[in-house]
Amino acid sequence: MLEMLKKGFFIGLGLTLMTKEKAEGIINELIKKGTISEKEGKEFIEILMNKSEETQQELQKKVESLVQEAIRKLDLPSKEEIKEIMQRLEAIERCLETLSKDK
């Protein structure tokens, strides 16, 4: 029974959007109705929060990956490349200053 409830709960409520308080409220209602025991409710909330954390971490990794891919496709220079360009520009400026002083 608890397994079936878990599956339905995950599907119906949208795991990543649910807050712990909302989940506890729903579980407390199920406990009051006698659908599940208090122990099952606590276990379920713990499982739900762990799953939510896992899902959040997976989503964060996917977003980071998509952002990196978008940056790569835009062909934007990296921090290191910009730093190298700035160093080269400074070296050119120094050379130009030296040439200007020599005239």
Name the residue with higher pLDDT: 87 or 35. Answer: 87
Percent of the chain with pLDDT over 90: 18
How many percent of the chain have pLDDT more than 70? Answer: 81
> Does residue 10 sit within a domain?
yes
For the chain, what is the radius of gyration of the CA atoms? Answer: 28
Cβ pair 47, 29 in contact under 8 A: no
Q: So what's the pLDDT on residue 2? A: 47
Residue 94 in domain: no
How many whole angstroms separate alpha carbon 44 and alpha carbon 47?
A: 5
Q: Is residue 88 part of a domain?
A: no
Indicate if the pLDDT at residue 94 is higher than 90: yes
Q: Please count the structural domains in the chain.
A: 1
- Encoded tokens for 74: 């835009």
State the residue range of the domain holding 34.
2-74
Decide which of 96 and 53 is more confident.
96
Residue 73 has which token pair?
A: 């496709």
**Residue 52 domain flag:** yes
Q: Is the pLDDT of residue 66 over 50?
A: yes
